[in-house]
Structure 1
């Protein structure tokens, strides 16, 4: 099975697609305090959970969602229709790094999608290109090391020791890129567990209901992921979502 399809199936019961609860997602979006008729962009929107909630909270806002996943964008369109916000949401199937908007945005999101740009630093640079000068906000979700990873875990994750910083270092990296951190949410272990149990369990249930090569592949992916989580990064890899404001230039 294609990785994209496995991810789509696994997120079926947790479309936020990050270790963030629904209540915390809403709190972060509310904290942004967007202006009237705000323009919102999500680079790597997946199934559009952040955008559809943002449009529900801000009835006069419009939004663009960018992703490569055809199934994810289809799910985003369906959810937008269910919530009655489809007329204010535009979806684009294109690489996030290639997207160019017609006008700047009041809020740009990239939550758990920094891989689309090759890491945190290029993600922050790309986000800045889309922000409304002076007033634009960014909401960026990124992993961090809760404690130093072992060499074995780094091999399993295919990661380098400096791929993530600790929490303080992650904040420092964002501020070094020209942003001021004005709010944030550090995902709890309960949020991580809910996300991972949902990811592996939803995929396992689908696999059991679809015997055959696809079901076998999905079940193997679920078990591999669960092993990597429970025997590997649980309690080691954290996740933080930070609300950022462009910092004024120095000097």
Structure 2
């Protein structure tokens, strides 16, 4: 079983692939979409859950998503049909760095996907190129909430702390107009859901050739979380506007 299939199983119970609960997602969308008729772009959309939720509650919204995963985009199209929003959603299978839109967007989203551009500031630079005047960016990024262990640094790299992360964004010409720090409850719920879903799948499919592999993956990931980064990892989502247009 490949990494993409394992990820799909892991997120079966947590379709927002970040440590955010449903209330936090709704509030972030409310702050990022004040009118309700915006054009929205998600760079690295995966299964497009952010776009699907925005479309389902805003009948005048139009959205586009970009991702390299055929499996994720197929799932997104199926979900869009089931929710009755497929006519207002366009999905592009390609590298986010290669995407060239026909017109700018009122909101650009990148949640937990800044690696696609090589980091936070390069992602904001890409978002700037796609953004209409007066538009917003909704971005989600990891940070170190406490001093990380060597194992945590090996897993996630040299993350900044929260204050430094926000300072870098502001110095790059952006003003935060809303933010959400994932709580301990959100962070823990996300991890339990992912690795619990994997473990449950393996136990429910003992005859599957991949069962042992999936159970090992769940066990390893849970151990890395509990012993490696649970006490230091943080996640922040920011709604940003350009400081100067």
Smaller-chain TM-score bracket: over 0.9
Contact kept in structure 2, 1:10 and 1:198, CA below 8 Å: yes
Q: Aligned-pair distance for 1:245?
A: 0.3
Query: 2:83 matched to 1:102?
Result: no
Deviations 1:136-168 (A, max 9, x none): 10000000101111223323x152xxx321111
- Matched residue of 1:164: which SS? coil
Q: For residues 1-251 of structure 1, what are the structure 2 equivalents within 5 Å?
A: 1-35=1-35, 37-133=37-133, 135-155=134-154, 157=155, 159=157, 163-211=158-206, 212-248=208-244
Task: Measure the CA separation in 2 of the matches of 1:24 and 1:227.
Answer: 27
Unmatched runs of 5 consecutive residues or more in structure 2: none
CA-atom RMSD, angstroms? Answer: 1.4
The aligned length equals 244
Superposed displacement of residue 85, structure 1: 0.9
State the alpha-carbon separation in 2 of the partners of residues 128 and 158 from structure 1: 26
- Structure 1 residue runs of 5 or longer lacking an equivalent are none
Q: Distance in 2 between matches of 1:73 and 1:187?
A: 26
CA distance in 1, matches of 2:61, 2:156: 39
Alpha carbons 2:39, 2:63 under 8 Å: kept? yes
Q: Deviations over 1:44-95 (max 9, x none)?
A: 1111111011112221111001111222112211221222111101111111
Q: 74-83 or 116-125: which moved more? A: 74-83
Q: Secondary structure at 1:19's aligned position in 2?
A: coil
Deviations 1:16-64 (A, max 9, x none): 0000011110111011244353110001111111101111222111100
More deviation, 186-195/200-209: 200-209
Q: Given the two structures, how large is their TM-score scaled by the length of structure 1?
A: 0.93
Report if the CA contact (8 A) 2:149-2:228 is conserved.
no
Are residues 199 and 41 of structure 1, via their aligned partners in 2, closer, same or farther at CA, if it must alter by over 3 Å? same
Contact 1:11 1:202 in 2 (8 A): yes
Residue 228 (structure 1) shift: 0.8
